[in-house]
Amino acid sequence: MSRAEASGLLELWAGDVRLVASAADGGRLTSVTVGGRELLWSNRNDGPYGWGCYPMVPWAGRIRHGRFAFRGRDYQLPISMPPHALHGVVLDRPWTVTAPDSMTIDLDDRWPFRGRVRQDFALSEDGLAVTLTVEADESMPAMVGWHPWFRRVLGEGEAPVTLEFEAAEMLVRDAEGLPTGERVVPPPGPWDDAFTAVLGGPTLRWPGLKLELGATCEWWVVYSQPDHAVCVEPQSGPPNAANSRPDVAAPGAPLADTMTWRWSRT
C-alpha cells in the first residue's frame, strides 16, 4: 500500500512496516518503522547531514578541496564542509514525487554536468530495496550512495544495537581524512572509515530485531563513533573517487545501484 501526498511525502506500508520518504528533505527516508519501532535517527536539528537516510549523488563522501579533473579538464566544486566538498548536491534540495514509489531531481549548477537522479522504493513486510539511478545528458563521473543514521537504542531502557561487520580491506586516511591509496586489514572499531572486500552483509542487532544490510555497491563506509547512532553507508566508490577511479554515466548508459535492508523479528 502506498500514498504520495501533495506535501511531497511518499508513504509506503507493508503489514506493520511503514516507510516515509520526504521529497522536501532532499529525498531522504525520514522514518522506517518495523512493528512500531523506529529504526532511523530523525532529529532535524542535527542539520542536513545528521539524520534520516539520505541519498549521496553524484558523489559520496568527500572530494578533496572540491577539485577534480575529468577528460583533461579541471573542475572546482563549492566547499560544503571545509576544506572539502561533501556528499553531493541532492540531499539539501527538494525532489519531485513522480509516482507512489518514486521521486526525481535534476542535478543543479553546483555540479558542472547536466543530468538527473531517480530514486525508487520497494517495501515488503520483511525488507526494503532502494535504487538510485543517475541519468546523464553528457558524460560525467558519477557515484551514488546512502547515508543511514540508525538509532543505537530503539526503545527506552533497551540494550543498544550491536554491529556485525567484517571486511578484508580498509582505506588508510591522511591528516585531511581522505584516502592515501594504502589498504590495510581493518583494526577493531569504532570506525569512521571506508571498507571494501566486505565479508557478508553488515548486520545490526537490537533486542528482538535483526537488520541485514546489502547493496550492489562495492564500498561501505562505517561511522560507529557517535553515542546516539550508527551509520553503515553503501557507496559505489570510495571517498574522493572523482580523483581516483570514478565510474562514468553517459547518455543512454545510466549508473544505477540498489541498497537492501532485510529485517527479522527475533
Q: How confident is the model at residue 131 (pLDDT cuts 50, 70, 90)?
A: very high
Confidence check: pLDDT of 217 > 80 = yes
pLDDT of residue 125: 97
Q: Is 75 exposed, middle or buried (0-12, 13-18, 19+ CB in 10 A)?
A: middle
pLDDT, tens digit, for every residue of 229-241? 999 999 999 999 9
Decide which of 1.10.3720.10, 3.30.70.2740, 2.60.40.790, 2.70.98.10 is the CATH code for 2-265: 2.70.98.10
Confidence check: pLDDT of 114 > 90 = yes
Q: How confident is the model at residue 7 (pLDDT cuts 50, 70, 90)?
A: low
d(CA 261, CA 170): 23
pLDDT of residue 6: 58
Domain ranges of the chain: 2-265
For residue 134, report the phi and psi dihedrals to the nearest 5 degrees.
-100, 115
- The arithmetic mean of pLDDT across residues 209-234, rounded, is 97
pLDDT of residue 4: 67
pLDDT of residue 266: 86
pLDDT of residue 178: 95
Supply the DSSP string of 75-131, one letter for each residue.
EE---SBTTBEESBSSTTS--EEEETTEEEEE--TTSSS-EEEEEEEEEETTEEEEE
- The arithmetic mean of pLDDT across residues 32-56, rounded, is 97
